[in-house]
Amino acid sequence: MEIDLNLIGMDKGKQYETIITTVNSENVQNAAPIGVLCSGSDTILCRIFKGGKTLENILSQREFTVNITHDPELFTLSTIGNLSKDHFSRDNSIKGVDAYFKCEVISVKEAVKQSDPIRKKDEANVIKSKVTDIVINKEVQAFNRAFGCVIETLANFTRFDLVGETKKQYYLTRFRECSRVVNKVGGKEEKQAMGEIKKELLKKGYEI
Amino acid sequence: MEIDLNLIGMDKGKQYETIITTVNSENVQNAAPIGVLCSGSDTILCRIFKGGKTLENILSQREFTVNITHDPELFTLSTIGNLSKDHFSRDNSIKGVDAYFKCEVISVKEAVKQSDPIRKKDEANVIKSKVTDIVINKEVQAFNRAFGCVIETLANFTRFDLVGETKKQYYLTRFRECSRVVNKVGGKEEKQAMGEIKKELLKKGYEI
């Protein structure tokens, strides 16, 4: 199949929520939810925190699999560490996902930018990789968090004038957090939308 | 075209984010973002707050249009009230949306359940409607907030043990809010995922 990330709804410059599966030198499989930045039609970047099996396995094997799914169960199990052996296919993808692609590492760098508000930048590596194969089981658009953040922000926006001071402060905190996420993972449409909502909030006299 | 909401990714029992367009008796068009519950292959329910043009127009005209789009700009403009005349087609849909469907009102009831944490139940009507026509310009899945809520909750979950007490309380508030949204709009998969995350948080000793 043609190798083009656009086939699974990934656009250059936007980050998508995926589950990365890896193996160690003894072929023990591991899964973890990781944000993947599409940097071209067949290249991706991902920032992976040190201390976990995903980074360890990628550094030792120089290859990994990116699984695309909208199954909340698979994301939950791979986050809390309960994805069992039975969930993995022999080719190290996760059974039943809509699509997956295979990657080979091009380069590994120390993270130089802070992208996470909690963890330190020196705790991560940025992995640049080339997509070597794409398998599509079902037509799918990889999930990008930005549109949902805009919708959540708009839902709060309609309630700003109905709530008390504590809740207003909470909504402002939420606005800042959604802005951060949209700036990190979104496209220009979502960034522009957040800018317009900000203007409206400023007009209403809120400090952002 | 066959009338089946499943054609635009709407499943029975789940609620989707849409923009509803209406006209008044003088044919003045209006747009507002409204959550639409799919109650069957050709029926929907929507809870619409009193005091706005959408409810007024639906009650007087007994028909309306539901627009399906992932364009953050259209959602933003229709929320802050800046959608201009040029955005509307002559058939009262919004230009450029992926799909839209026409509805006729079957029944109007006073809301009997509280579904919004801020507004009172007696400030809303629940409108049951029949879908009379579907127009699909581009293949699209109507947007449901639940999957995004699960992903946001998982992102916070991975940071719970890295943050101080204030941020932990914020994450717990976020967890409760996402649970509320998922219970209201989501399917059984998303509800189950939130249940599993809750179990893990309880195991860690957090009070939810």
Nearest CA in chain B to A170: B170
Q: Do A72 and B147 touch (CB under 8 A)?
A: yes
Long-range pairs of A6-11 with CB within 8 A, sequence gap ≥ 24:
A6/A41, A7/A134, A7/A136, A8/A68, A8/A98, A8/A99, A8/A101, A8/A134, A8/A136, A8/A140, A8/A141, A8/A142, A9/A140, A9/A141, A9/A142, A10/A36, A10/A38, A10/A142, A11/A38, A11/A187
Q: Do A151 and B170 touch (CB under 8 A)?
A: no
Q: Do B11 and B187 touch, CB atoms closer than 8 A?
A: yes
Helices A146-157/B146-157 angle, 10° precision:
100
CA distance B122 to chain A (A): 15
Q: Cβ contacts of residue A86 below 8 Å, gap of 6+?
A: A95
Residue type at position B117: P
Model confidence at B199: pLDDT above 80: yes
Report the distance separating Cα B183 and Cα B191, nearest Å: 6
Any A CB within 8 A of B173 CB: yes
Model confidence at B155: pLDDT above 90: yes
Nearest CA to B32 among B19, B15, B50? B19
Q: Cβ contacts of residue A101 below 8 Å, gap of 6+?
A: A3, A5, A8, A65, A66, A68, A131, A132, A133, A134, A135
Phi, psi angle pair for B203, to nearest 5°: -60, -40
pLDDT digits (tens, 9 = 90+) for B5-36: 999 999 999 999 999 999 999 999 999 999 99
pLDDT digits (tens, 9 = 90+) for B92-142: 999 999 999 999 999 999 987 776 777 776 789 999 999 999 999 999 999
Report the distance separating Cα A162 and Cα A166, nearest Å: 12
Report the distance separating Cα A197 and Cα A195, nearest Å: 6
Report the distance separating Cα B197 and Cα A190, nearest Å: 28
Q: Which residues of A touch B197 (CB under 8 A)?
A: 76, 80
Residue type at position A169: Q
Residues linked to residue A19 through DSSP beta bridges, in sequence order: A33, A67
Any A CB within 8 A of B152 CB: yes
How many angstroms separate the first and last alpha carbons of chain B? 47
Any B CB within 8 A of A192 CB: yes
Any A CB within 8 A of B159 CB: yes
Q: What is the mean pLDDT of chain B?
A: 94
Residue by residue, pLDDT tens for chain A (208 residues) are 689 999 999 999 999 999 999 999 999 999 999 999 999 999 999 999 999 999 999 999 999 999 999 999 999 999 998 899 999 999 999 999 999 999 999 999 998 877 677 777 678 999 999 999 999 999 999 999 999 999 999 999 999 888 999 999 999 999 999 999 999 999 999 999 999 999 999 999 888 8
Residues linked to residue A73 through DSSP beta bridges, in sequence order: none
Q: For chain A, how big is the Rg over CA atoms in Å? A: 19
Q: ipTM score here? A: 0.94
Model confidence at B75: pLDDT above 80: yes
Q: Which of residues 106-125 of A touch B (CB under 8 A)?
A: 118-119
How many other C-beta atoms are found inside a 10 Å radius of the C-beta of residue B61? 16
Q: Do A150 and B72 touch (CB under 8 A)?
A: yes
Q: What's the CA angle centered on A20, arms A16 and A26, to 5 degrees?
A: 170
Q: How high is the pLDDT of residue A121?
A: 65
Report the distance separating Cα B69 and Cα B78, nearest Å: 12
Q: How high is the pLDDT of residue A119?
A: 72
CA distance B160 to chain A (A): 10
Task: Kindly compute the dihedral angle of the four CA atoms of residues B61, B62, B67, B72, in this order, to the nearest 10 degrees.
Answer: 70
Q: Do A76 and B154 touch (CB under 8 A)?
A: yes
CA distance B91 to chain A (A): 26
Q: Do A35 and A70 touch, CB atoms closer than 8 A?
A: no
Q: How high is the pLDDT of residue B82?
A: 82
Q: Cβ contacts of residue A87 below 8 Å, gap of 6+?
A: A31, A74, A77, A94, A95
Any B CB within 8 A of A11 CB: no
Q: Do B150 and A75 touch (CB under 8 A)?
A: yes
Q: Work out the percent of chain B whose per-residue pLDDT is above 90.
A: 88
Residues linked to residue B67 through DSSP beta bridges, in sequence order: B19, B100
Containing H/E element for B32? strand B29-40
